[in-house]
Structure 1
């Protein structure tokens, strides 16, 4: 039996800068592969908890299966980290309640993560689990969930009772890599290992590809490893019945906020473990270990024991089940409330982002307001002139059809021109973005240039694009991308105006590049001071006396939300600002 071992991670004893002792929180970890292995495997989690909750000192207590049961019953730990099988036992026997479940990159989901692979040599005549009858089979331990119990259930369902039908069932302990090597060397007919172990050993060069294969392989969509079994939930982080609910809630929130480990694992909301209960029932282990004894007791009761004992046992079981159900529902409700609060905050952040984008568009239009008014005044003045001319002709009795028709057509043309200008401005200024859909990039950029020319008629813009640029399509919000182009044009124009050369040409180009397309806006405004360059994308940072400091920050956020990137680089005469977007197929 493993001796209990405690790993203290983070500061232990006195808090930095104070004299108060941090409260020690003991976490029992199933360490059937050894204490050192457990310390290495869970160091990231304990380091995160100690940094995230500095007022607490989380200590790892390494335990084997008997030690885990004893620690839970004695209440010597506050939380446990264990496999799905051991957790299911502790949940029914001691009221342990899962807070979160591990989400490993090897699994499909926290609910479908681990299983068993029954392996044989490549040249073995064995093909199905049923072929193991009378054969020599290796496993880690009777308590090993992935390395025996899961496979034992599949054998039983295939018609092979592991206790009676095998020629020899040998438990060899850990590490389970030794089982794979023993099978490869012919010291047993087959062995039970955890799913993905063979793939990992091949990747690490421990065995040759194709040296071993899996019996009765299952095809599970989305699962990358070979398996002989269905998939079961991953390891949970669970609280004991005596643990303070406020502490459990605090720890659950910290774990859900934990970044992915270097291996890609993180914690998720608690999975359902009903499938584990089904396994225990089929194997008659755990809380179902007494089924056969209860059947024998029922036969004896007809002669010696009254129905009172059975009634008491049933009542106790119902009370226990109700209590466990209540605890699970309470914990689930608390986690659901936390999830709902996170969703509410995310929605509020999206609304604030939309308001900032709208403010950015209003800032652009505000800077061009005078020129826009001049652009609208021209068609309105023309309409008034033609209307007065027609009125004078009518007053003078000169009613020739052709001059009147020509005047009316010119009024219609000028009013259409004004209406188009107003519609462009109204569409751009509308609060909230449009929908993300497939759009043609070249017309979108040209339309933004036309809108900019309305507000800045003195701007000289040179447009260059590939010959087939009208076929360049991306998935995007058209209004947001036009806002990016207008921001870059506005910056370029203001940079040139600041140097007294606003009429210098601003070059805008569109070209294909690396599974996407790049839009480049180049000015002749003298470039960006290197001292400010690193801060240009910070919100509210600006070098302009009248600026808000939102343009480049919003533009960068919009482009990156579409899967692209935005860059600035100095040239000999100014700055080239460019953004890249993935093409429609890879967006």
Structure 2
């Protein structure tokens, strides 16, 4: 919604690691908007639960939204959100505006060499609604002729709703295989929390300009979107400001991104959601 004062806007952001972390990560980007667009004031609204985003969108509680691709498409379908720009993340020494999922196991599981070998095995993912942490991999497996929801022994979801818990559970033998978004395995190894020699990636894909382990197709990164009630001139001010943010800025360093790019095409996400409807 537009706030009681006509020059105020609320930016909702998916706070998957908690409110405090979301504020630390994203408030500097909001500060840039406030500095560069002084005729408006932008408030940050961290939202903990993915499903809550669509609920509060329906109540008109925010004007702009930063969330994962499937959450954005849901708000787009229900309330007319429109992507303005796409996040260009810093991953290792690269910039990435696309991501996917990695399906992996521990190398000690010598009987798990491909997706079909997951039959009657245990599989852990971030959460049922996680995009890179589950939904992308679920569709990929379905299109390979493997229905994880009926073919595996058990699907487990993390209590913390984090990729780190997925990796630690598989690494310690608590599950036979796991699903995380791309870049996580490499990041945990760089941080000294994982030895990739003990990880086997299933259905590994090679894409020339994507330097991370990958088991699926790629999808566009998180969009910064606007609700339909916001005037175009204000939406354009926001997108123009975000596109000018540079990697050396406090905003980019705080949220670990290189910058923003013009909005990518989210039709692939829409197609995924159609295919996974009721799953």
Q: Same fold (TM over 0.5)?
A: yes
Quote how far apart the aligned CAs of 1:43 are. 2.8
CA distance in 2, matches of 1:133, 1:43: 44
Tell me the equivalent position of 1:427: none
How has the CA–CA distance of structure 1 residues 33 and 264 changed in structure 2, closer, same or farther, with 3 Å as cutoff? closer
Cα offset, 1:94, TM superposition: 1.3
Shifted more, 199-208 versus 41-50: the winner is 41-50
SS in 2 for 1:266: strand
Following TM superposition, where does structure 1 have runs of at least 4 consecutive aligned residues deviating by more than 4 angstroms? none
Cα displacement (A) at 1:22: 8.9
1:225/1:177 Cα in 2 relative to 1: closer, same or farther (>3 Å)? same
Shift in alpha-carbon separation, 1:44–1:211, aligned structure 2, 3 A: farther
RMSD: 1.8
Aligned residues of 2:185 and 2:196 also touching (Cα < 8 A): no
Instruction: State how far apart, in whole Å, the 2-side matches of 1:248 and 1:32 are.
Output: 25
TM-score, length basis structure 1: 0.43
Structure 1 residue 214 and structure 2 residue 201: aligned? yes
DSSP-derived class of the 2:102 partner:
strand
CA contact (8 A) 2:101 2:179 kept: yes
> What residue in structure 2 maps to residue 45 of structure 1?
29
The offset of 1:283, in angstroms, is 1.7
**How far does residue 140 in structure 1 lie from its aligned partner after superposition?**
1.2
Q: Distance in 1 between matches of 2:35 and 2:99?
A: 30
- Distance across 2 between alignment mates of 1:43 and 1:198: 27
Deviation of residue 194 (structure 1)?
1.1
Which of the two has greater strand per residue? 2
| 1:102 to 2:115 alignment | no
Aligned to 1:299: none
Q: Which residue of 1 aligns with 2:119?
A: 133
- Secondary structure at 2:62's aligned position in 1? coil
> Aligned partners of 2:200, 2:40: CA distance in 1, in Å?
47
Could you tell me which residue of structure 2 aligns to residue 10 of structure 1?
A: none
How far did residue 56 of structure 1 move?
A: 2.4
* Offset of residue 134 of structure 1: 1.3
Shift of 1:52: 1.3
1:58-207 pair list within 5 angstroms:
58-63=42-47, 64-106=49-91, 110=97, 113-125=98-110, 126-173=112-159, 174-207=161-194
Residues 102 and 234 in structure 1, CA contact (< 8 A), matched pair in contact too: yes
1:115·1:150 contact (CA, 8 Å) conserved in 2? yes
- Unpaired segments ≥5 residues, structure 2: none
> How far does the alpha carbon of each residue in 1:166-217 deviate from its partner, in whole angstroms, 9 at most, with x for none?
1101111422101101101001000111111010000000122312221111
How many residue pairs end up in the alignment?
264
Q: Distance in 2 between matches of 1:29 and 1:187?
A: 32
Write the deviation string for residues 293-344 of structure 1: whole angstroms up to 9, x where unpaired.
xxxxxxxxxxxxxxxxxxxxxxxxxxxxxxxxxxxxxxxxxxxxxxxxxxxx
Unpaired stretches in structure 1, ≥5 consecutive residues: 1-20, 290-587
Give the match for residue 270 of structure 1: 263
Matched with 1:23 is 7
Contact 1:75 1:242 in 2 (8 A): no
Give 1 or 2: higher helix fraction.
1
- Change in Cα spacing, 1:109 to 1:208, as seen in structure 2 (3 Å) is closer
On the 8 A contact 1:102/1:236 being kept in 2, the answer is: yes
Separation (CA, whole Å) in 2 of partners of 1:225 and 1:109: 10
When structure 1 is superposed on structure 2, of 272-281 and 136-145 the one drifting more is 272-281
TM value normalised by structure 2:
0.89
Listed one character per residue, the Cα deviations across residues 265-289 of structure 1 (whole Å, up to 9, x for unaligned) are 211111001111221222225xxx7
Q: Distance in 2 between matches of 1:153 and 1:108?
A: 26
Alpha-carbon contact 1:233-1:271 (below 8 Å) kept? yes
Q: How does 1:386-397 map to 2 (within 5 A)?
A: none
Match of 1:242 in 2: 229
- Higher relative contact order, chain-length normalized (CA < 8 Å, sep 6+): 2
